[in-house]
Amino acid sequence: MLAAAVLALQSSPLRAQVIWFAQPAQGEKGSGGGVTYINQALPIGNGRIGALVCGGTDQELLRLNEDSLWTGDLNPSGNYGTMGAYQALGDMKITLAGQGSITDYRRELDLGSATVLVTYQADGVAYHRQYFASRPAGLIIGRFTADKPGGYTGAIELDDSHGGNVVAAGNRITMTGTLPNGLIYEGQLMLLRQGGTMNTVNGRIEFKGCDALTLMFAAGTNYAMRADSGYRGGAPGMMVGRTLDNVMRFSYGTLLIRHQADYLHFYNRVALDLGPSTPAQRALPTDQRRILAAKQPDPELEAILFDYGRYLLISCSRPGGLPANLQGMWNDSNDPPWSSDYHTNINVEMCYWPAEVVNLPECATPLLDLVSSQLPSWRDATRASSDLKTPSGDLSRRGWAIRTSHNIFGGMGWNWDKTANAWYALHFWEHYAFSGDKVYLANVAYPLMKEVCQFWEDHLKALPDGRLVVPDGWSPEHGPHEDGVTYNQEIVWDLFNNYAQASNILGVDKEYRDKIASMRDKLAAPRVGSWGQLLEWLAEKKNDGVLDTPNDHHRHTSHLFAVYPGRQITLQGAPALAAAAHVSLVARGNTGDVREWSYAWRAALYARLGDAEAAHSQLMHFFGATTPNLFGYHPPMQIDGDFGITAAIAEMLVQSQDGAIDLLPALPAEWPNGSVYGLRARGGFVVNVIWKKGALDSAMISSDMGGAVPVRYRGKTVTVTLAPKAAQTLSTEFSQ
């Protein structure tokens, strides 16, 4: 039933899942001084390698990525400038000769098939290009065709962004090199032709009079996600070459079918309909349409934005690979902003907010795996740091902490973000909470959570009144470093609460569970300030002209962690604190220092607080803070907002943070009719919802595991009890 409903919705002619443009991507000056195409090009990826497709006519450009191409090392100094950075791999350049005057140009990313298409007319000839990044084949693949024989004459080459060795022989071009940290990389391009001729000249392949071209690109490094091997494995050359050799068994059509079957296995789990946009809105290319969407609701484009976040996560975060970084995987600079790193005070966490709720749990595993792989190095750095002494003055003995930034080699940079260890632990817990997989909880999540609890058992400081506080904390990236900062307190509360629940579920460590639960209850709790706000610090900054005033419009809302993604403050469980959080959120405003990811977080916060119109307003503001290709624009570009806004839309429709499933908790008037299929709720449930005229029409709750769960809508609660692999439809149960 779910699969049929999703497919019917995905194939609706009114629901074109396309981001499109009437011109090729143009280069812009990047933050590192070079030329960047990241704001306009279209991203493709298979979770390990990716490309930005520019869609030029006489010269096509694909900017290439491999997710483990990083400089840097263990960086024991913790200096941000020596931590290293994620690198661009290089460029694929295809020069096309003699195509004449261009008309009817269109460049599009089809989210429903994970393909980029470039089409145009030139002197009466229709040209067509199709690109995709295949997970089954391990390749980036492109196909050039025309409706006239002999339409392709030109050359193809690889430009190694690190000055490595580039050699062309036969129908292949190979580039190889070694970064200063000893990381070995290799990329290979294979070109197949139909008709015409082809030969190699000066490191490139020239072709003449070809009817069609098929290009295939593979790449790899000798990175291994293991501390015990120094984060190095075998040389990549054999793997890269074998990947191209293996593909010769398949036709282009078969490669495309296999790619789409793999992608749709993930993408078709969820489908969203927010109602129709106008014909005038549909007619606009995306770069123009998104500007108007910031001023006038555009439900179909809002649904496309939701789907875009899912597409990007599937494309850049797959099991066995590395997690999404600040640019996803599509960084096209070797001096990228913020090193294109993993920022632990909101950014990497936001990248994974949608993973569980939009039914992409496999896409969360790269983050969990990377964290697990870094622990030996992080433990060593933690125990060696004089910045992380316990209240008694001793160096850390148990657990681990992390700085605000880290790489993939165990190295970290910038300030210690002490409670980021507990925030990372939340992702391990959520991976269990949505699935109910007790084997995973026992073997993976629980040991990690317990170790982080032990760190905080050693590091919390007791105030004279007995309350426990995180010493010398910070409310990123805002205000002073001091004891008992609300952000830190809330994150540790969530850690302790989740750990106690995990211990109960597994029936282990009762004595330690009771100790941690007791410490949880002694943590200095969030409080309400003089103007009704949720305090950001332990004591109100009454004499400060910037902090703790209604005029503080900082981009971060760190002290509202307990509302989202945490669960300490809920409308049902802590209404007074929820009201104070709303006051703080309104005061932060939408101007000044606010960034695209700020709008995404605020949309999720408003959704948790039941303010549907404010949540939708943040969604519209987000459109005004994107690049033409809908990437988040800080500026410069960063990708976390794209994932955060997808999660926020899901929170507007289904919530499950407090032990019940809430249906349509923040449905705005702008979406009077619609449906969502396939969202997940904690406890192993899947939820489908249909609404009409702004009210619930029906909902279906299903579960592979079975179980009982309260389901709420507009103040009424119904308990649903399911057998394994069963479903129940609700409709009249919520009639008033």
Going by C-alpha positions, the residue among 64, 116, 132 that lies closest to residue 333 is 64
Q: What pLDDT, in 10s, does the model give residues 60-102?
A: 999 999 999 999 999 999 999 999 999 999 999 999 998 889 9
The answer to whether residue 12 sits within a structural domain is no
Cα distance between residue 695 and residue 599, in whole Å: 26
- pLDDT tier at 546, thresholds 50, 70, 90: confident
Tell me the pairing of strands 707-713 and 661-663. Answer: parallel
The pLDDT score that the predictor gives to residue 142 is 98
User: What's the pTM value of the predicted model, to 2 decimals?
Assistant: 0.97
Strand partners, 699: 689, 730
Task: Give the single-character DSSP code of 632.
Answer: B
Cα distance between residue 625 and residue 630, in whole Å: 9
Both ends of the chain: CA-CA distance in Å?
Answer: 28
The answer to whether residue 282 sits within a structural domain is no
- pLDDT tier at 113, thresholds 50, 70, 90: very high
CATH number at residue 246: 2.70.98.50
The pLDDT score that the predictor gives to residue 678 is 98
- pLDDT tier at 545, thresholds 50, 70, 90: confident
Q: Spell out the alpha helix ranges (H) of 507-636.
A: 510-522, 575-588, 596-608, 612-623
Report residue 100 CA to chain centroid gap: 41
Burial of 517 from C-beta contacts in 10 A (0-12 / 13-18 / 19+):
middle
The answer to whether 35 and 302 have CB atoms below 8 angstroms apart is no
* Helix pair angle (486-506, 446-459), 10° resolution: 130
Cα distance between residue 188 and residue 95, in whole Å: 18
Number of Cβ atoms within 10 Å of the Cβ of 288: 14
- Token pair 């605000």 in the structure block, residue: 404
The answer to whether 500 and 508 have CB atoms below 8 angstroms apart is no
Count up the domains in the chain and report the number: 2
The answer to whether residue 150 sits within a structural domain is yes
Instruction: Evaluate the omega torsion of the peptide bond into residue 636 and state whether it is cis, within 30 degrees of 0.
Output: yes
Mean pLDDT score, 697-703 = 97
The pLDDT score that the predictor gives to residue 734 is 82
Number of Cβ atoms within 10 Å of the Cβ of 731: 12
- Token pair 């619609």 in the structure block, residue: 674
Residues 6+ apart with CB under 8 A from 413: 75, 78, 79, 80, 81, 82, 83, 339, 341, 403, 404, 405, 406, 407
End of a domain among 629, 663, 697?
663
The answer to whether residue 73 sits within a structural domain is yes
Cα distance between residue 217 and residue 674, in whole Å: 41
The answer to whether residue 317 sits within a structural domain is no
Mean pLDDT estimate for the chain: 95
The answer to whether 157 and 204 have CB atoms below 8 angstroms apart is yes
CATH number at residue 541: 1.50.10.10
Q: Do residue 244 and residue 377 come from a single domain?
A: no
Question: Is residue 13 pLDDT above 50, yes or no?
Answer: no
Mean pLDDT score, 418-443 = 98
Q: What pLDDT, in 10s, does the model give residues 233-259?
A: 999 999 999 999 999 999 999 999 999
Report residue 522 CA to chain centroid gap: 34
| Side chain identity, residue 83 | M
Q: What pLDDT, in 10s, does the model give residues 34-62?
A: 899 999 999 999 999 999 999 999 999 99
Burial of 506 from C-beta contacts in 10 A (0-12 / 13-18 / 19+):
middle
Q: Do residue 263 and residue 346 come from a single domain?
A: no
End of a domain among 245, 268, 291?
268
Q: Do residue 158 and residue 244 come from a single domain?
A: yes
The answer to whether residue 185 sits within a structural domain is yes
Q: Is 473 helix (H, G, I), strand (E, B) or coil?
A: strand
Q: What pLDDT, in 10s, does the model give residues 709-733?
A: 999 999 999 999 999 999 999 987 8
The pLDDT score that the predictor gives to residue 5 is 53
Cα distance between residue 210 and residue 194, in whole Å: 6
The answer to whether residue 694 sits within a structural domain is no
Q: Where are the beta strands (DSSP E) in 165-229?
A: 165-169, 172-178, 184-194, 197-201, 204-210, 212-221
Cα torsion at 29, 31, 33, 34 (round to 10°)?
-60
The answer to whether residue 37 sits within a structural domain is yes
Cα distance between residue 177 and residue 384, in whole Å: 34
Question: Is residue 7 pLDDT above 60, yes or no?
Answer: no
The answer to whether 51 and 44 have CB atoms below 8 angstroms apart is yes
End of a domain among 663, 690, 708?
663
Q: Do residue 349 and residue 444 come from a single domain?
A: yes
Q: In terms of residue numbers, what domain contains 109?
A: 19-268
